[in-house]
Chains A and B, each alone.
Chain A
Amino acid sequence: QQQVKQSPQSLIVQKGGISIINCAYENTAFDYFPWYQQFPGKGPALLIAIRPDVSEKKEGRFTISFNKSAKQFSLHIMDSQPGDSATYFCAASRLDDKIIFGKGTRLHILP
């Protein structure tokens, strides 16, 4: 119930394309869903986050889509650029509890 399942494990997208990473969760008590971006040799950095009272949140080229009934959420990267090549982690938590991370998706954008 505490798991967050992330797919795919790796993803290759052409420059200018849309990158889509999906996550699913079981615990309906989760109320915070962040996405982290990690470049090689660096720590994860918060990219964008959503709460279940909205179905979508957009920040620049990054959009989170949230489906509460299906217990799924996804990250869309529009107009993907080589600089977006990184590992992306979805995560979930409930108030006053630790953040549970997905296993990560290694994204490579072809120039």
Chain B
Amino acid sequence: DSGVTQTPKHLITATGQRVTLRCSPRSGDLSVYWYQQSLDQGLQFLIQYYNGEERAKGNILERFSAQQFPDLHSELNLSSLELGDSALYFCASSVGGTDHQETQYFGPGTRLLVL
């Protein structure tokens, strides 16, 4: 168990809808990273937050947004969902925020299915 929690575990929704994925980092970790894992694209970095501030952006679509709250949990919002958004979404956390090379601890993921 990595200490990172994600809810929900599974999510089924329809095209055009909006969903929110939630992540709680390990105790003491200030950084939260979001990743998307799909069969064709593999594991791709979406966005990083450090102590409430956006720190780095990857291949995140404009329809997607994230935030990190004062208690350090994070939410990833996916809107105007398309079939191609079906994937596993992982959250990871690390202690610091300036170095992606610091060990990141991954949560168990949220499996999103868009019908």
Contacts and interface: CB of A to CB of B under 8 A. Distances in A.
Contact of B106 (A45, A96, A102): A45
B108 A102 contact: no
Given A45-B2, A101-B43, A95 B103 contact: no
Interface of A: 32, 34, 41-46, 89, 93, 95-104
Given A43-B106, A102-B42, A93 B92 contact: no
Contacts of B42: 89, 101-104
A48 B76 CA distance: 29
Chain B's interface: helix, strand, loop or mixed, by majority? loop
16 contacts: A42-B106, A42-B108, A43-B2, A43-B92, A43-B107, A44-B106, A45-B2, A89-B42, A93-B101, A95-B99, A96-B98, A97-B56, A97-B100, A98-B45, A100-B45, A104-B42
Nearest to B45: A98
Contacts of A97: 56, 100
Contact of A93 (B43, B100, B103, B106): B100
Interface string B30-44: 000000000000111
Nearest to B109: A43
B110 to A, nearest CB: 10
Contacts of B104: 46, 99
B90 interface: yes
B58 interface: yes
A58 B70 CA distance: 40
Interface in B66-115: 90, 92, 98-101, 103-109
B45 A44 contact: no
A43 B56 CA distance: 21
Contacts of A100: 45
